[in-house]
A and B are shown apart, each in its own frame.
Chain A
Amino acid sequence: MKIKSMLWTTVTLTFAAGMAFAEGKLNIYNWTDYTSPEMIEKFEKETGIEVTLDTYDSNETLLAKMQAGATGYDIIVPSHNFIPIYIAEGLVQEVDVAAMPNFQNVKERWRNPEWDPEQKYSVPFHWGSASVAYRPDLYGKKLESYGEFFEPAEEVRGRISVFKTPEEIVNHAHLYLGQKFCNEDPAEMQKVQDLLLAQKPYVMAYSSEGMNDRLINGDAIISNHWNGYAYKGRLLAEEAGKELVYAYPKEGVIGWADGLMIPKSAENVENAKIFMNFIMDPENMGIQSNFAGYGGPIEGQEAFMDESLRNAPEINIPDDATVVFSFACNADAQSLIDRVWTNVLR
C-alpha cells in the first residue's frame, strides 16, 4: 500500500483506519477502465474494508486464469455468456444473491436471467449492446435494418467498417437471416458465410478499434459499434458539428451483461457479499455508471447519473427495440464460426 500512497486509496485508508469497524480486505478483479474510483472510495469509507483492484481485458483471459487456479480474488466480473461456464466448472461459490436486502432494487428485466435463473451466483452489473452506428448526415436516411449494412447501397460501398472478431458480427448475420445463434447447421452457416463474403468487397476495415475516428472523419458511413463506445463517439461528433447515431435495427441488437461473482478460492467471502449488496444500491450503481459509461440494472440509479448519460439514446433502449442475448457456443458451433470467419478473411 505504501507504494500506492500517491493514489486516492490512501486518502480513504487514513480515513478508514480511524474508524472503529475498520477491518478486512477485498480484492476485486475487474475489466480495465471499468471500476469507478469514486464508488470504491465511497465503499471504503462506509465499510472500512480496504479494496485492491486488479484488471483484465477479456473474458478469455479471466477464464484462463481462473481455470489455472488463480487465487487472491474475491470478486470477478465475467460476461453473461461466460457465467454458465463458471457455474458448470465449479469455479464460483453459491451466494444466494436473491436474499440480499438490496436485491429488491434490481429492475425486473435483469432479475433471474437465463444465465443464472435462480440468481444464486451472480449480481447483475453493467449491460450493453452491439449493433451498428452510422452518419445520418452522410447517409441521408434512417438506418432500419442490418440489410443496409450487409448489402449496402451504392453510395456507402467501401465505407463500411466491421468488427474484427466474429462473435457479434456472426450473430448480427443470424439476426438478419432469421437464424438461431450458435448454429450447428452447416447449411445455415453457409448462408452466413455467403452473406459476409458478399459484403466483403464493400468493407473498408475489419477492426474493433477506432470506430469513432473512422465515422467522424467520414472514412466510414456505417460501422459495427458498441453502445457505450458509440455514446462517447456521438459526443465527439457533436463537438465537430457532425452526427453519429447508434442504430436499433428492426432485427434487434446483441445484448451483453456482466455479473459480479465470488470465486471458489476467495478469502474474503463476507466482504465480497457486502460489496455485492453495496453495488445494488441506486446511488452506488449510478456513480459506477458515470465512470464506465454503461447503463446498469438498478431501479432509480438514473437520479445519480450525469444528465448526458441519463438521457443517452445509446444507454436507454427504445421501447420498441429488441435485445437478444448471445451465449458461449459449444465446440462444434464455435468451430463452424471459426471456419466461416477464416474463409471470409483468408
Chain B
Amino acid sequence: MANLPENAALRRTLALGPALAIIGIFMLIPVIIMASYSFLEAKSFGGVNWVFSGDAYVQLFYERMLDDSLRLSPGYLIIIGRSVALALVAMVCCLLVGFPVAWFIARQPLRQRNMWILLITIPFWTNQLVRTFAWIIILGRNGVIEVPFRWTGLLAPEQTLGLMYSNFAITVGLTYTFIPLMVLPIYASLEKLDFSLVEAGADLYSSRWETFSNIIIPLSKPGIIAGCLLVFIPSLGAFIQPDLLGGGKNLMLGTLVQFQFSTARNWPFGSAIAMILLAFVVVFLMLYARASRGSKSLEVH
C-alpha cells in the first residue's frame, strides 16, 4: 500500500507523456533549430555555414559601414516598433468591438447563445487570404463602399475615398480577422458572471459606469486578458493584411522574416528576427501570467 502514491505519480508522468512529447517535438525542437540558425553564418545562396556568428543580432541594431565599422541604425527597430504599435491598435479595436458583442451574446437566452457563437465562428471556415481579398472589393476604388457615393455624384469619377492601401485598411483587416479570438474568451468569462451581482450594484445606487468598471470589468478580466493576448500575438506576425490591404509600403516583422528567407537569402537574420518576435510574445505571456494571478486573488474576495 505504501507505494500506491508512487504508482500514482508514475501514472501521472506517463499520462503526461504524449502531451510532453508533442510539445517537445512540435515546439521545442523547432525553436531550438531557429535559435541555433540565428547564431550561424549565412551562405550566399541561402542555407547556413556551420560557423558560430553573432552577425545576425549585430545587424538588427547596427549598420556595417564600408570600412567595417559599425553605426547604430534604427531601421529594424522602427519596423519592430511599427509592428508592435499596429498589433496594439488591432488589439484595442478588437476589444472595443468584441466586448459589446460578447456581452450581447452572454445576455441572450441560453438556447440562442450557441447560434450566435456559431455565427461568430463561421468566417473561420473560409481561408484567411480569401476573406482579406474580400476587403479589397469592399474598400477599393469602385468598391462596395464607394459605389453609392458615385451614384449620388458625391464622388467624381477621378476621385476616390482612398480607403484602400492605408493604415486604416490594415487595421480593419486585422480587427476583422482576429475578432473571434477576442469575442470567445470574453464570452466565456461573461457567461459565468453572476448577473445578480450587477443587479446588486444597481440596488446599491451604483451608477452604470461604476457597475461596469467595478463589477463587470474585474469579473471578466481573465477573458479580456486572454482575448487581448490571442489577438496581439498573431497580429504581431501578420503579413497578409499589411501586404494586401496596406499595399506593403512599410515592412512589418512578418514580412521582414519572409523577405530574409526568400529574396534576401539570409536565413540567420530571418531566424534572429523570429527570435525577437518570440521574445515579445514571451514577455506578453509573462505579463498575462502575472495579471491572471492578480485576478484570481480578486475572485477569492
Binding site for B on A (CB under 8 A): 58, 60, 63-64, 67, 85, 164-167, 186, 200, 203-207, 209-210, 213, 217-219, 328, 330-331, 334-335, 338-339, 341-343, 345-346
Q: Is the CB of B264 within 8 A of A338?
A: yes
Q: Measured between alpha carbons, how far is A200 from B250 in the docked complex, in Å?
A: 10
Q: Is the CB of B259 within 8 A of A206?
A: no
Q: Is the CB of A218 within 8 A of B141?
A: yes
Contact mask for chain B residues 241-260; partner A; CB cutoff 8 A; 1 contact, 0 none? 00110011111000010010
- Report 23 cross-chain contacts, Cβ distance below 8 Å, ordered by A residue: A58-B262, A60-B263, A60-B265, A67-B45, A85-B45, A165-B263, A167-B263, A186-B66, A203-B247, A204-B247, A205-B165, A205-B249, A207-B248, A213-B136, A218-B141, A219-B160, A334-B44, A334-B264, A342-B75, A342-B76, A343-B75, A345-B250, A346-B78
Contacts of A167 in B (CB 8 A): 263
Contacts of A219 in B (CB 8 A): 140-141, 160, 164-165
Q: Measured between alpha carbons, how far is A213 from B261 in the docked complex, in Å?
A: 28
- Provide the main secondary structure of the chain A interface: helix
Q: Does B235 belong to the interface (CB within 8 Å)?
A: no
Contacts of B247 in A (CB 8 A): 203-207
Q: Measured between alpha carbons, how far is A85 from B45 in the docked complex, in Å?
A: 9
The number of A-B residue pairs with CB atoms under 8 Å apart is: 81
Contacts of A346 in B (CB 8 A): 75-76, 78-79, 250-251
Contacts of A58 in B (CB 8 A): 262
Contacts of B243 in A (CB 8 A): 164, 207
Contacts of A60 in B (CB 8 A): 46, 261-263, 265
What's the least CB distance linking A342 to chain B, in Å? 6
Contacts of B47 in A (CB 8 A): 64, 67
Q: Measured between alpha carbons, how far is A167 from B263 in the docked complex, in Å?
A: 8
What's the least CB distance linking B79 to chain A, in Å? 6
What's the least CB distance linking B59 to chain A, in Å? 10
Contacts of B263 in A (CB 8 A): 60, 165-167, 338
Look across to chain A and name the residue whose beta carbon is closest to the beta carbon of B255. Answer: A345
Q: Does B142 belong to the interface (CB within 8 Å)?
A: yes
Choose from A63, A209, A217, A342 the contact partner of B45 (Cβ within 8 Å). Answer: A63
Contact mask for chain B residues 43-83; partner A; CB cutoff 8 A; 1 contact, 0 none? 01111000000000000000100100000000110110000
Known A-B contacts A205-B165, A219-B141, A328-B45; A165 and B266 likewise in contact (beta carbons under 8 Å):
no
Contacts of B261 in A (CB 8 A): 60
Contacts of A209 in B (CB 8 A): 244
Contacts of A164 in B (CB 8 A): 243, 248
Q: Is the CB of B248 within 8 A of A206?
A: yes
Known A-B contacts A205-B247, A205-B249, A217-B141; A338 and B46 likewise in contact (beta carbons under 8 Å):
no
Q: Measured between alpha carbons, how far is A58 from B45 in the docked complex, in Å?
A: 13
Q: Measured between alpha carbons, how far is A345 from B259 in the docked complex, in Å?
A: 12
Using a CB-CB cutoff of 8 Å, which residues 216-274 of chain B contact chain A?
243-244, 247-251, 256, 259, 261-266
Known A-B contacts A207-B243, A218-B141, A338-B266; A345 and B46 likewise in contact (beta carbons under 8 Å):
no
Q: Is the CB of A200 within 8 A of B249?
A: yes
Q: Measured between alpha carbons, how far is A321 from B79 in the docked complex, in Å?
A: 40
Q: Measured between alpha carbons, how far is A204 from B141 in the docked complex, in Å?
A: 12
Q: Measured between alpha carbons, how far is A164 from B255 in the docked complex, in Å?
A: 10
Using a CB-CB cutoff of 8 Å, which residues 137-194 of chain B contact chain A?
140-142, 160, 164-165
Contacts of B160 in A (CB 8 A): 219
Q: Measured between alpha carbons, how far is A217 from B251 in the docked complex, in Å?
A: 26
Contacts of B42 in A (CB 8 A): 331
Q: Which 5 A-B pairs have the closest CB atoms?
A: A205-B247, A331-B44, A206-B248, A345-B251, A338-B264
